[in-house]
Each structure stands twice: as C-alpha cells, then as structure tokens.
Amino acid sequence: MADKQVTLVVGARPNFMKAAPLLNALRSAGGFVVRLIHTGQHFDSNMSEVFFDQLHLPKPDAYLNINTGNPANQMARVILSLHEQFSQFKPGLVIVFGDVNSTLATAVVSNKMDLPLAHVEAGLRSFDRSMPEEHNRILTDMLADFLFTPSPDADQNLLDEGLSADRIYRVGNIMVDSLLSLRPMAVELGTYKGFGKKKSEYALVTLHRAANVDESTALKEIVSALEEIGKLIPVLFPVHPRTKAQLQRMKLESKLAGSGVDLVGPLSYLEFLNLMMNARVVLTDSGGIQEETTVLGVHCLTLRENTERPVTLAEGTNRLVGTKKAGILNGFQKVLKERIPQGRKPELWDGKTAERIVHILRKYWN
C-alpha cells in the first residue's frame, strides 16, 4: 500500500509524553508519513524544548506559536491555523491526545474538513462539568472515529454515552510507554540528592489546576496542610509558574518557605521522574501523575474531589483526599502507617500501547 499520511497534533506538556512513543512507533513501522504539529499552547525552554529533547521527539514540522490569549481566542486561532495546515498537507488521519484546549480545537477542524480523527486517551470522565478538561474530553470523543482507551471504565463511559462499540479500542495507557522507556535514565540521576533529600523520606508536591490555585479558599487550605506535613517530613514543591503567581498574590509563598517546604522552579521530565520514584508520597492535582505513581508503586494523594482516572483508585496507589486541610492530613497519616503502598499496574499498562495502536491502524488501512 502507499504510505499513509498521519498528522499528530500536540499543544501542552502532557501531550508530549503521549505523542512521543506513538510517533516513534509509526515511523519505525514503515508505511506511514508522519507529521508533527505543535500548537504552542505550552512553550518555553524548560517546559517544552527540554521535554522534546528528553522524549526524543523531533522538531515539529509546524509550530503554530499560539500561546497567548484567553481559551476561546487560542482555540479559534488553532482552528484557523490547522485549517491551513490540513489544506496544504491533507492527512489521511489526524491523531490528538488527552484533554487540553488544542485537542478539542483539532477535533473541530478535522470534523469540518471531513478528516478521520483518532483520540488517544479517550473515554476518561471526572463527571465534573465545572472542569474545562471534561468538556474537551466529551466533545473530542463525540467527534473521533478511533477511540483509543486506557482502561475498562473508559470503555464503559463511551458506551454509556451512546458511542458505537466499533469505534472503541482499549489499547492501554500510552503515557506508560514513555515512563517505562525513560525510567532507566531517570534512575541514574541524583536529583533528589541534589535537593538534600533521602530516598522515601520526603513528600513531593505538584499543584496547577485552576480550581485549586485560582480559588483562595482551596489554596489556603492546601497550603495550611502542607505546612503541617512539613513538620513531619521534608516537602519538595516544584512550583508551576501559574501557581507561583497565585501564591505570591495571596501572600502564601513566604508562609510556605518559612514552614520548611522547599519551593523550587520547574523541572525537566527526567528530573521530576527521579523525584517521583524516590518520594515517600506525592501530593498532586495532576491526572497524569496519578497514573505514573501507580506504575511506579508510589503513594499518591490527589488534591481533588473527583478523578477521571478511577482505575488508579481501584487498582493503583492513589487516594482522593479533596482540598480541605483535614482530608489531606488524614490521607497523609494513612500513608505514614502504610509503608509499602498497596496496588498494582492495571491491565495493558505495559509500555506497548503505541504498538497496539499502530497494529489497529494497519488493519484499518488494509
């Protein structure tokens, strides 16, 4: 068969970890001409370029540089720019990842141009319509022709929404492909030692969701909990730029620093992976980190009232603790009592998700 034109679209850091293994698998398989488009939703040297280097992602074939403006403005510009790209290099298939704004914008323009669309990480639902990511997931899944899911709950969500079973393919968690391939390099780093920490004797924190960092009540509750945790165990907190700005605005940054919580700047993926695999517990509001801690066998306390990744609760090492100080501290006390976390890797989270997707696409075109 003639080489098939496939375009992968990424926009933010979580997309990079999901796109890298699939792009490499498609190019290694042969029979595909693969283009990579970066919308620019996240782009700076430490948060984008370094991730590309460490994940062995090639320089994008097109960089749209759309990283300013409100979400509606950004999405409109992405749609217009992608329309030009797809008109010039008409793909036989467009592939998107996750739930960022660029994902939905790509789904819309693909649909309007009658281009087949695949959604990697389809079917995840938090059932919280106040989350912008939830809108992006639902609408992208409605428009996609291929729904590549990571877990049985995702399959069921799609079926419950009336989507046809012949569009649903459970392939596993593609982020695990990147995690497992890069783990040996991360093991060799001494990142946690460089911060003066001891293996399994510190807590690691990430915080970035708008509901947590833009809302003063939630952020103050979380900060108060971290102050208490810092009295019991060292805390390392790589601060997202958005979170840093809000901590400063609410005059909480100095309060945290004075409590013994180490605030540090953004880290590369490998550096953060080293910190995560050596931590006693990770406190986070990130969806991807819930998955990564499950694979690494590290305690995770999710600072949210819900999760679109319930398999990490049922089978993994994750606990939902909410954003109230009491709930966070209660979860932390359980971690201290349970030295080794209970849990296992879910089915198909084995580092071979990209291979399964390529196999499905070959069958489709044949």
pLDDT at 164 over 60: yes
pLDDT of residue 42: 62
> What interhelical angle do 174-188 and 13-29 show, nearest 10?
100
Q: Is residue 63 part of a domain?
A: yes
- Evaluate the CA torsion angle 27, 269, 14, 43 in order and state its sign: negative
**Per-residue pLDDT at 1:** 56
Is residue 96 domain-shared with residue 223, that is, in the same domain? no
343, part of any domain: no
d(CA 164, CA 161): 9
Residue 309 belongs to a domain: yes
344 occurs within a structural domain: no
- Dump pLDDT digits (tens) for 259-289: 889 999 888 889 999 999 999 999 999 999 9
pTM of the model: 0.94
Q: State residue 335's pLDDT score.
A: 95
Q: Which structural domain range is residue 325 located in? A: 182-337
Instruction: Supply the pLDDT for residue 55.
Output: 78
Q: Which residue carries 């080489």 as its tokens? A: 3
In order of 30, 51, 113, 292, the CA distances from 17 in angstroms are 22, 8, 27, 11
Whether residues 289 and 312 share a domain: the answer is: yes
Task: Identify the CATH number of the domain in which residue 154 sits.
Answer: 3.40.50.2000
Q: Are residues 63 and 104 in the same domain?
A: yes
Q: What CA–CA distance (Å, rounded) separates 173 from 348?
A: 7
Per-residue pLDDT tens over the stretch 288-339: 999 999 999 999 999 999 999 999 999 999 999 999 999 999 999 999 998 8
Is 251 within the bounds of a domain? Answer: yes
pLDDT grade for 54, boundaries at 50, 70 and 90:
confident
Cα 42 from Cα 55, distance rounded (Å): 16
Retrieve residue 357's tokens.
């997707």
Which pLDDT does position 169 carry in this prediction? 98
232 and 167 both lie in a single domain = no
Q: Name the more confident of 120 and 209.
A: 120
Average pLDDT across the chain, whole number: 93
- Is residue 208 part of the annotated active site? The answer reads yes
**Separation of first and last alpha carbons in the chain:** 8
- The alpha helices in the chain, defined as continuous H runs, are 13-29, 50-54, 71-88, 101-112, 132-143, 152-160, 174-188, 191-194, 210-213, 216-230, 241-249, 253-258, 269-277, 287-296, 311-314, 325-337, 353-365
Contacts of 3 (CB under 8 A, 6+ apart): 31, 32, 33
Residue 13 falls inside a structural domain = yes
Lowest mean pLDDT among 64-68, 136-140, 319-323: 64-68
CA pair distance 180, 296, nearest whole angstrom: 9
Assess if residue 190 is contained within a domain.
yes
Q: What is the pLDDT of residue 332?
A: 97
Under the banding of pLDDT at 50, 70 and 90, the label for residue 2 is confident
Q: Is residue 256 one of the residues assigned to a domain?
A: yes
pLDDT at position 58 over 90: no
Measured in whole angstroms, the distance separating CA 280 from the mean position of its chain's CA atoms is: 21
Residue 245, Cβ density class (10 Å: 0-12 exposed, 13-18 middle, ≥19 buried): middle
Q: In a 3-state reduction of DSSP, which class is residue 33?
A: strand
77-113 pLDDT, tens digit per residue, is 999 999 999 999 999 999 999 999 999 999 999 999 9
User: Could you tell me the pLDDT band of residue 48, with boundaries at 50, 70 and 90?
Assistant: low
| Residue 136 pLDDT exceeds 70 | yes
Q: Domain tally for the chain? A: 2
Domain identity same for 166 and 229: no
195 shares its domain with 299: yes
Query: What is residue 229's predicted lDDT score, i.e. its pLDDT?
Result: 96
Which entry of 83, 135, 208, 359 is annotated as an active-site residue?
208
pLDDT at 78 (0 to 100):
95
Measure the CA–CA gap between 319 and 15, rounded to whole angstroms.
24
